[in-house]
Amino acid sequence: MVIDPLTRDALIYASSLSMLSLGLTLTYLTTKVPNFVHGSLATVGSYVLLTFVAVFNLDAYLSLPVAFLLGGLVSAALYLLALRPLINRGAGLLPQMIATIAFELVLLSALNIYADIITRTFKVQARDVLLRRFDVQIPGVGPGVLVASLAMVAVTTITLAVLLYRTRFGVAMRAAIENPMLAGTLGVNVKLVYLFSWFLAGGLAGASGVLLGLHYQQDPAFGSRMLVSIFASSILGGLSSIYGGWLGGFFIGLTEIYGIFQLSRLVGSWILPYRIIFPLLIMSATLLIFPQGLVGLQRYISQGLRIKAAGIIK
């Protein structure tokens, strides 16, 4: 079975977007601040990949754990160095948001500096570079990144489900997110849980960056440009459940790729670069019609059904 390029493109993009919006939702649940750096955390992963394959001639997939670790560390640094001091000072939502854009400024510059350095030191192209040739080809399926993307989603989903619902740490984590004061009173180390959440979200972003980097042309602002799609996915998901973010990511990712393809057949290929119209419209529509997103919608419907059921029983 050979998967056609459009479906392949859509699945790879949607898988990574799904992981990214899951992570964004996770950090939003803990500190209640939208992380404007999240897209660039993926770029960190992409540059780890670039360093592995183009500078050191290593296997592409070996970079996954390193990208996970580095993405996680950068994200944890954002939380520890910028957000936690602000929270300790009692700063509100706005200063925290501004701190994340300040960090984005720092990270974008750092990525550009890194790109300059590897270009000059190793004579390796580090901007507008396509790394597909470093991917493995799986006979009958296509590029390995497709399988790896779907595997990442599956592994992450199962691991998170087990972690959150089957371990003591997961229970503590959910408690700390649900009611930090109460959890703190009961001896849960809320700050550690938050730190871990930020690390995990960054790690997933870093890993997504590797997979995106194996398929799409890379430059230091690549992840940053995905930010709108990540926000749209998380808002569609409702920003209140990580599985909402997961679902929102898949929905927006598939809509973006298939939608723009269908539209280009209707109106011509000039429309292709305007993919951003889909996340923008879906995001606006969500905010106008059901601002609590898919999760809120699901809650609303199930409540409605319950009321209906109660009516029938009466």
Partner 1 sequence: MIDLEALKLAYIFIVDLLAVFAVYLIVNYTLGLEYGKSGIPNFGKVLSIAAGAFVAGSIPGRLLAQIYDMYGGIEGIRDPVIADCVTGLSPQKPQILQGMDYIEDNVVIVTCLNRVLSNDPLASLTVLLFTMLVAAGAGAGLGFIASYPALRLREDYLAMTLLAFGEFLTAIGYYQREIVGGTLGVSTIDPFGWAGGYRFLTATLFITLMAALVAVYVFFISKSPLGRVLRAMRDQEVAADVLGKDIVALRRNVLMVSSALASVAGALWAFYAGGIIATSYDRVSWTFLPWVMVILGGAGNDLGILLGTGIYWAARKLVDQYKGLLEPILPFSVIWLDRLVFGILLIAILILRPQGVLPEKPIYPLGKNRVDKIIENLRNRG
Binding interface with partner 1 (CB under 8 A): 32-34, 36, 81-82, 85-86, 89, 91, 93-95, 97-99, 101-106, 108-110, 112-113, 116-117, 120-121, 224-225, 227-228, 231-232, 235, 273-274, 276-277, 279-280, 283-285, 287-288, 291
User: Any idea what the Cα angle at residue 202 is, between residues 200 and 207, rounded to 5°?
Assistant: 95
Tokens of 62: 């070996």
59 or 116: whose CB is closer to partner 1?
116
Beta bridge partners of 137: 143
- Of 148, 146, 154, 160, nearest to 23 by C-alpha is 160
User: Cβ of residue 224: shortest distance to partner 1, in angstroms?
Assistant: 8
105 or 182: whose CB is closer to partner 1?
105
218 or 233: whose CB is closer to partner 1?
233
User: Cβ of residue 281: shortest distance to partner 1, in angstroms?
Assistant: 10
107 or 188: whose CB is closer to partner 1?
107
User: Cβ of residue 275: shortest distance to partner 1, in angstroms?
Assistant: 9
CA distance to 14, 88, 184, per residue, from 180 (Å): 32, 14, 6
User: Cβ of residue 62: shortest distance to partner 1, in angstroms?
Assistant: 26
143 or 202: whose CB is closer to partner 1?
202
- Of 57, 26, 60, nearest to 45 by C-alpha is 60
User: Cβ of residue 68: shortest distance to partner 1, in angstroms?
Assistant: 24
User: Cβ of residue 307: shortest distance to partner 1, in angstroms?
Assistant: 26
User: Cβ of residue 8: shortest distance to partner 1, in angstroms?
Assistant: 24
99 or 173: whose CB is closer to partner 1?
99
126 or 210: whose CB is closer to partner 1?
126
User: Cβ of residue 67: shortest distance to partner 1, in angstroms?
Assistant: 22
108 or 146: whose CB is closer to partner 1?
108
User: Any idea what the Cα angle at residue 249 is, between residues 92 and 157, rounded to 5°?
Assistant: 95
Number of alpha carbons in the 13 Å side-chain half-sphere of residue 36? 17
